[in-house]
Amino acid sequence: MEWNIVTISEYQTISMAKFGNHYSLYEMEMDEIVTKLETKMNPLVLKIKDLMWSNEKDFWLRKNNELFNVVTNANDDGTINAGW
């Protein structure tokens, strides 16, 4: 999976150039970061689900029950329902 998302520190530099010498990210930059992460999350969730269910289901059920439950209950397109 290609990871072509700018780092948060790079976003902070961009934000500071636009809005002054502030040490926080502004809503516009945060929205862009989250939007880009959303495009990566669904395929990532599906890959994790495939890995867990292929031959390591019992291991992950014991190792990280919360992650196991989240990816097990993910939709076929990789989205996660609210409440998980």
Domain boundaries, the chain: 8-72
What is the value of pTM for the model shown?
0.62
Please provide the DSSP assignment of 17-42 as one string.
HHH-S-SS--HHHHHHHHHHHHHHHH
- Structure-block tokens of residue 65: 């029950």
Q: What is the pLDDT of residues 19-70, one digit of tens each?
A: 777 656 667 777 888 888 888 888 989 999 998 888 888 998 899 989 888 8
Which residues are CB-contacts of 61 (< 8 A; sequence separation ≥ 6)? 68
